[in-house]
Amino acid sequence: MTGKKKSKLWILFVILACVSCCCLIMLQPIGDYLVVQDEIQKTDLIAAVSGPEYRILYASELYMKGLSNTVFFTGGFSEENNRIEASWSKYVAETHGVPGEAIAIDENAVLTTHDEAVLLKNYIDAHPDMVKTVALVTDPWHSRRARWIYQKVLGEDVKVYMMPVPRTRTDFPKYWWTEASSRQLVWKEYVKLVFYVFRYQIATGHLRSWLSQFDKF
């Protein structure tokens, strides 16, 4: 190989290395922005957003560490899983050491994260002066949107602390752009973030009602 060819290959290698570094610098913060995690601390209630079973397990772990006296689960009947999700969550939590009397559930159907926040507010309103702080368990990629909507629904009197499931136990790797499923996850979550701001913050009247048809997506 001539010196000129070696020089070209070296230049190409440097260019590729620079491009890779730029991708890391730009792409990692895009995924990291979605993740909100507060310091793990004791709260009045632990609430797990309905979803993958590892959310139930992590909420149960937090309870077993003495970080709260109550765990709250939501979720109505799921045709896909052929079960009532809130009741199933309670069963899983009990099998992992959480006593039944420490578990509160709401079996009403939920379609969105907003719906789940409303059910939690209903529970808190039914137990005045008992809940002033909530530890919210969900996926890392979902934590920013979840915090925003839960805090908005619960109001200033209740403080929401985000305690998402550790990334290593979810389908959201640190280098999210290396997998097609996580790339799609990040894209959809940013779309939902924008949608939530329009749906629940900016829109009013007929526009807000019209936007509700997209909740199921």
Question: Which tens digit of pLDDT belongs to each residue from 37-94?
Answer: 999 999 999 999 999 999 999 999 999 999 999 999 999 999 989 999 999 999 999 9
Task: Judge contact between 45 and 135, C-beta under 8 A.
Answer: yes
Instruction: Tell me the CATH number at 153.
Output: 3.40.50.620
Cα torsion 87, 116, 150, 36: sign: positive
75 domain residue, yes or no: yes
Residue 66, Cβ density class (10 Å: 0-12 exposed, 13-18 middle, ≥19 buried): exposed
Confidence of residue 4 (pLDDT cuts 50, 70, 90): low
pLDDT tens-digit map of 86-97? 999 999 999 999
CA angle 171, 174, 177 (to 5 degrees): 85
Amino acid identity, residue 68?
Answer: S
Query: Do residues 109 and 155 share a domain?
Result: yes
Do residue 124 and residue 197 come from a single domain? no
What does the alpha-carbon distance between residue 52 and residue 90 come to, in Å, rounded to a whole number? 14
Tens-digit pLDDT profile for residues 114-147: 999 999 999 999 998 899 999 999 999 999 999 9
Whole-model pTM? 0.88
- Number of structural domains (the chain) is 2
Assess whether 156 and 58 both reside in one domain: yes
pLDDT tier for residue 103 given thresholds of 50, 70 and 90: very high
Q: Is residue 57 part of a domain?
A: yes
